[in-house]
Amino acid sequence: MKIQEFAEKYGMEKRRIDYLTNLGFLHPEVDEHNGYRDYNQVCEEEAKRIIIIEAMGWSVTERTIQKLSVYDEFEVENVVLPLIEAERKRLEERTKKAIAFANEMQRG
């Protein structure tokens, strides 16, 4: 698929996809005649890993991608995603407490 379609599908800006491609985190096929990149199934799997890594609060590096690539689809769905959800809930709870504390401080 072309970069615009890929960007919309994965909620990324085209500049971000270019950046990730130039760093070697996405590996589209390149048409030798016109130079257009085709973001295929491999890129989709790579994008999913990147999204998971960022959702966990990790930075996207070669090492984190290699760590995550050892998980198969079952493990991602049944192990990694529940961990992300638990972290999201924990952060949401901390945010609520921080807001309550800030409101309390304003009231004096």
pLDDT tens per residue across span 58-108: 778 766 666 656 566 666 677 667 777 888 888 899 999 999 999 998 987
Do 81 and 99 belong together in one domain? yes
Question: Which CATH number characterizes residue 62's domain?
Answer: 1.10.1660.10
Residue 44 shares a structural domain with residue 5 = yes
- Of 6, 12, 17, give the one whose Cα is nearest residue 44: 6
Whole-model pTM: value is 0.59
Same domain, 7 and 54: yes
In the chain, what are the helix, strand and coil shares in percent, each to the nearest 5? 70, 5, 25
CA 46 to chain centre: 9
Residue 102 tokens read as 């800030």
Domain count, the chain: 2
Average pLDDT, rounded, for the chain: 85
Please name which of 51, 77, 75 lies closest in space to residue 64, comparing C-alpha atoms: 51
Q: What range does the domain containing 75 cover?
A: 71-108
